[in-house]
A and B are shown apart, each in its own frame.
Chain A
Amino acid sequence: MKPNHVFAAFANFALVIVFLLIVISPFFLAKNITKVAGVKTETPYLITSQIQKFPNVSFSQEGETYRFTYSKASLNQEYRGLLVLTNPTSESKEYKISRLSGYADVYFGEDSKTAASQIFLPAGSSVPISLFSGSLDQTLTVEFKINLK
């Protein structure tokens, strides 16, 4: 095979790819805008704060990271139902809490003995989120994320 045949084959193949990319690009753009707009309309979960019931705890959010800062009255302390997570969608979903930093357990439910970092929630139902700290420090911060599993 002559070298120019190899080049021609490569060039034609590349041109076909370019043509397909040009043809697909408007649909990709249209789909991308649709997808992003659609995601906004269906939030995977809703968080309701109950933090006003706990004078020694503050709650903040930065992007998708949630943060509790609290001061304890005893060594082992549990804060039950700091937040309530609701599944607002029309289908069941499984959620997972991932701790990013801090020495405390953040879990679904209200009992540290049966603490669950993952939970399966039917459509429209809710679950409390609680915190248990057994650390020696009196003032602590814990950061966590909530993801769809």
Chain B
Amino acid sequence: MVSSSITKLIDQAIIPAVALIVGKMTGLLAASALYDLSYRIEAGGFLNILPVIRFQDQQSYLVAESYSNLAMFIAAAAGTLLVIIRAHYFHQSHINPQVHAKLISLNMEKLTAPSYHLYHQALVWLTYLWLTVAFLAIYASMKVIFPQIAIIAFIVAANLSWVFALDIEKEVEISRSI
């Protein structure tokens, strides 16, 4: 009937979505506080649900947008990094036996995860990560954010994807050897 993979993807997509929104909002408010930017929070955004944060001048807007989008990217990168660490060190298919024994003794076996769970999670986080990079690239081309942020984001995303690809290679080798 209903594809379990799609259900799993939806299940895994909610936390990253919330993380990105929280990252963006926190970044916006933190940048405004740190750089003492003058702004107003008003009602009347999209469908009168979302707040509208209005900055007085273009420079304040540029600073706030740059750091809030950077915070959004950090949220996406941190989530992806956690999944990759889990896939590298706590993957049930190739976890180090000593580490596994230690986890069991510490009653932390829940940290280990099967490939099915990890790969769905990684797919979702990497999707968010690369969409964020695309988002930053578009904004950088529109000169709404500092271009360095988009460049750094691309390098980080490429490296995380490469590290994750190594884990997939390892998984493929294991399945071939069985």
Contact = CB atoms under 8 A, between A and B. Distances in A.
Most buried by B among A8, A18, A41: A41
A60 B21 CA distance: 40
B55 A40 contact: yes
Interface of B is mostly: helix
B172 interface: no
Contacts of A32: 45-46, 50
Nearest to B21: A26
Interface of A is mostly: helix
B24 interface: yes
Contacts of A23: 13, 17, 124, 127-128, 131
Contacts of A38: 61, 144
Interface of A: 4, 7-8, 11-12, 15-16, 18-19, 22-23, 25-27, 29-34, 36-38, 40-42
23 contacts: A11-B2, A15-B3, A16-B6, A18-B10, A19-B6, A19-B9, A19-B13, A26-B17, A27-B132, A29-B21, A30-B24, A30-B69, A30-B135, A31-B135, A33-B24, A33-B50, A33-B53, A37-B53, A37-B55, A37-B64, A37-B65, A41-B58, A42-B58
Interface of B: 1-3, 6-7, 9-10, 13-14, 17, 20-21, 24, 28, 45-46, 50-55, 57-58, 61, 64-65, 68-69, 72, 124, 127-128, 131-132, 135, 139, 144
